[in-house]
Amino acid sequence: MERMSRPLVRLLGQGVRAATKLRGGGSAFPGLVMEKLHPGFVSEQLARLPHGVVVVSGTNGKTTTTKMAVQLLESQGLKVFTNRTGSNFVRGVAAALLQEISLTGRFDADIAVLELDEAHAVHFVKEVQPRFALLLNVMRDQLDRFGEIDTTRRMLSKVAAATTEAVILNREDPRIASLAEDVRPGTEVLWYGLSPQLRPMFPSDDDMRGADGPAAPTPEGGSAPEAVVELTDFKATDVDFLVRGKPEKAKVHLYGVYNVYNAAAALALSMTVTDDGRDAPAAQAGIPSLLGELSAVTPAFGRGETITVDGAPLQLLLVKNPAGFRLSLASARPEAYATMIAINDEYADGRDVSWLWDVEFESLRSGGVDLVTGTRAWDMALRLDYDQVPVRDVEPELTEALRKFIASAEGRPMRVFCTYTAMLALRRALRSVAVVPEI
Amino acid sequence: MTTTTPTFPTAPEDGVPAVDAVEPGGRGEIHLVQLYPRDMNIYGDWGNTLTLKRRLEKRGYAVQLTDYNPGDSFPADADLFVGGGGQDSGQFRVMEDLQKIKPVMYELVADGVPMLAICGLYQLFGHEFRTIGGEVLPGIGIFDLTTVGGETRLIGNIVTESEKFGTIIGYENHSGLTRLADGQQPLGRVVSGDGNDGEDGTEGAVTNEVIGTYLHGSLLPKNPVLADHLIATAVRRRYSHETLEPLNDTLSQKAREVARNRPR
Ligand SMILES: [Zn+2]
């Protein structure tokens, strides 16, 4: 097809968007039409960005980490394009681009920071070479989609190999650390990591069961490589980092220990991006303002977000793999909360619910669980029964379950652990009883 | 949909059937061994071990639980073995170790020791696994079957029907296509899903008291008949106990009803 002029692309994009609104379609639809009409649209637009493209990928924490990185980079005066809708593949990126262009009449950004899931990232990097990549972790998440953890690692190795300037890796995840071997000559490998004292708090899936999992990676057989940012300690919202070897303090208002570690990842990425010609004193000067900005980051949708219902806080916690669920459980004293667990098995949740058997629920034994819900409510109730956790009620239908749960909480703060589509449905249902922010 | 909530066990002690008050562990001890949990435990395999352990304990047996990993001294006095699925990388280590323990495994199988082998371990209990690249990984041939690497993964909810155990419900996720030799008894016939090779309609294999299958999900919590068969075999061998008291399996029944009607 002949290439279209930009005003035509824009008009067309607006028309497609209007049509999408009418049919109530998903956010990726206009992007799909755009890619059909004008292949290469996304790569052409992204190629114009003066600071290039950053890809954030990995199993867990992409959304929160991307959100943090965007905010940190904006605090340094960069105009950042990102795929906020969570529709995180090429079409989703195209849709976000169209929206940007049709709102402002032009694509006006310095840099793109894109959250891409592993499978989509592989397709994306065939069309667009990222300048930077931040690769977080490889966990047992939606194995039924990607087949095997080793397959997921191979997908991420394609992203590492396509990146032109620097790849930032999680030093403590053996599968991520091994990606250093796949980086092309001339592209820098940088690390973020944990102090030795903190490592036991962040189990990988390899050491979920059985005492000794694989040892922390020490590439080249020597000691661990130095990290740009190392998380050394945290207590409540106070966080200690080693930033290029120098102790620094920050505040992080995010829920769960994983998000504190993701803050280290976002910080390492932001330092790398803003640090033209590394080690320059000018870049060092940016660190205090980046650390200051970290405290202003609020949780992304569903990642520990708190909604007030009848004056009591209700916290929504997204769970999708054993390590994440276990850490969410460990992050507060269960007896102090009313607890509901919502497990769906739609495609976006993962159809396979086997992973629930690799979460230990003993911590819920003394307080019990008020309600289990979702399409796989009975699987969850069965799982809890085998861990001898009392379950007070099972109600597969989510809206009805939410109503019962709020009534039974009687003013106690509430925690709801939920899979992805269960969370979407619960947020919708909560609209009738509380103020729920738009995603 | 409105659901009336049935009553079901809420306290740890409930769910123990109306059995004579056996002291915990009063019936004796059963030695349960997890095969290769370090390398082969990616699909909720702990659920199978936990189900066996709890259902034994509820019947008054104490459970000695041993992890067997490559290079460990082999617990040849075990009453019951269970092992699961792994990554390709884990499969290599396990394959080498299996060759070492092959003679003692043969004795145990001939002796009627119950075993459950799922996914990766099921494949290695056959003669060989031939990868797409033509590489051949030897198994130990407890089952008369071979597996070849396939182009696409067979993934999804699966329901099979077994003459001996009734309807078996689980989740499969494998790229290996397993072909049973003539005379090798399958575990079940596929009702919905792919099974051994997606073509011949069989799923799993049974030889003596060894059960192999691609179903995880986890298999035993949702298939208590299978769990109790393995347990009954173990306690009959060890103590000549002939009866197992029924347990309250309401939750399991509910979870089965849902699972069998979920999309693939
Ligand atoms: Zn499997």
Secondary structure (3-state) at A363: helix
pLDDT at B13: 42
Beta bridge partner(s), residue A229: A192, A243
> What value does the mean pLDDT take over residues B162-178?
95
Exposure b/e, B107-137, CB count within 10 A at least 16 = b: ebbeeebbbbbbbbbbbbbbbbbbeeeeeeb
Task: Report how far apart, in Å, the C-alpha atoms of A144 and of each of A359, A438, B163, B215 are.
Answer: 18, 30, 29, 13
Q: Tokens for A146?
A: 């990607």
- On the question of pLDDT at B235 being above 90, the answer is yes
State in Å: Cα B216 to ligand 1 middle: 5
pLDDT at B138: 94
pLDDT at B92: 80
Tell me the count of A-B CB pairs closer than 8 A: 123
Number of C-beta neighbours around residue A218 at 10 A = 12
Question: For chain B, what is the radius of gyration of the CA atoms?
Answer: 18
Query: In this complex, which of A147, A352, A391 lies closest to B171 when CB atoms are compared?
Result: A352
DSSP state of B117: E
Most confident of the following: A289-298, A386-395, B23-32, B42-51 = A386-395
Task: Please indicate, yes or no, whether the overall pTM of this predicted structure exceeds 0.95.
Answer: no
Q: What is the pLDDT along chain A (439 residues), one digit of tens a residue?
A: 334 445 555 555 555 555 444 443 344 555 555 555 566 777 888 888 889 999 999 988 888 899 999 999 998 888 999 886 554 556 667 777 777 776 666 778 899 999 998 888 898 899 899 999 999 998 876 566 666 778 889 999 999 999 999 999 999 998 999 999 999 999 999 999 999 988 887 766 555 443 333 444 444 445 678 999 999 998 878 899 999 999 999 998 877 778 889 999 999 999 999 875 544 454 556 888 899 998 888 766 556 678 899 889 999 988 888 877 887 887 777 888 999 999 999 988 889 999 999 899 999 999 999 999 999 999 999 999 999 999 999 999 999 999 999 999 988 999 999 998 999 999 999 988 887 776 5
The more confident residue out of B229 and B135 is B229
Give per-residue pLDDT as tens, B88-122.
667 788 999 999 999 999 999 999 999 999 999 99
Instruction: State how far residue A171 is from chain B, nearest Cα, in angstroms.
Output: 20
Q: What is the 3-state secondary structure (H, E, C) of A9-64?
A: HHHHHHHHHHHHHHHCCCCCHHHHHHHHHCCCHHHHHHHCCCCCEEEEECCCCHHH
Q: What is the phi-psi region of residue A388: left when phi exceeds 0, alpha when psi lies from -120 to 50, beta otherwise?
A: left
**Distance in angstroms (rounded) separating the CA atoms of residues A102 and A80:** 17
- What spatial distance separates the first Cα and last Cα of chain B, rounded to whole Å? 22
> What value does the mean pLDDT take over residues B220-236?
97
- On the question of pLDDT at B176 being above 60, the answer is yes
Name every residue whose Cβ is closer than 8 Å to that of residue A422 and which is 6 or more positions away in sequence.
A342, A343, A344, A349, A373, A374, A398
ipTM of the complex: 0.91
Q: Which residues of A touch B262 (CB under 8 A)?
A: 345, 351, 375
pLDDT at A134: 98
From the number of C-beta atoms within 10 Å of its C-beta (0-12, 13-18, 19+), residue A438 rates as exposed
CB contact under 8 Å between A354 and B88, yes or no, is no
Interface test with A, best of B10, B53, B93, B252 (most A CBs within 10 A): B10
Name every residue whose Cβ is closer than 8 Å to that of residue A140 and which is 6 or more positions away in sequence.
A59, A149, A205, A321, A322, A323, A355, A358, B42
Beta bridge partner(s), residue B148: B130, B177
In CATH terms, the fold of domain B25-261 is Rossmann fold (3.40.50)
Query: In this complex, which of A375, A378, A392 lies closest to B254 when CB atoms are compared?
Result: A378
pLDDT at A217: 46
User: Which residues between 82 and 101 in chain B have a beta carbon less than 8 angstroms from any beta carbon of chain A?
Assistant: 87-89
Secondary structure (3-state) at B59: coil
Strands A229-235 and A188-194: parallel
**Distance in angstroms (rounded) separating the CA atoms of residues A182 and B214:** 33
- Which residue reads 């980086």 in tokens? A183
Q: Which residues of A218-277 form beta strands (DSSP E)?
A: 229-235, 238-243, 246-251
B230: phi then psi, degrees, rounded to nearest 5: -60, -45
Q: Per CB distance under 8 Å, which residues of A are interface residues toward B? A: 140, 143-144, 147-150, 205, 209-210, 212-213, 345, 351-358, 368, 375-379, 381-383, 385-388, 390-397, 400
Instruction: State how far residue A356 is from chain B, nearest Cα, in angstroms.
Output: 7
**Distance in angstroms (rounded) separating the CA atoms of residues A239 and A251:** 6
Instruction: State how far residue B101 is from chain A, nearest Cα, in angstroms.
Output: 21
Question: For chain A, what is the radius of gyration of the CA atoms?
Answer: 22
- Catalytic annotation, residues of A: 352
pLDDT at B5: 39
User: For chain B, which residues make up each domain, given as ranges?
Assistant: 25-261
Q: How confident is the model at residue B10 (pLDDT cuts 50, 70, 90)?
A: very low
Give per-residue pLDDT as tens, B181-198.
999 999 999 999 999 999
Number of C-beta neighbours around residue A278 at 10 A = 13
Q: How confident is the model at residue B79 (pLDDT cuts 50, 70, 90)?
A: very high
Q: For chain A, which domains are there?
A: 6-294 (3.40.1190.10), 303-430 (3.90.190.20)
Q: What is the mean pLDDT of chain B?
A: 89
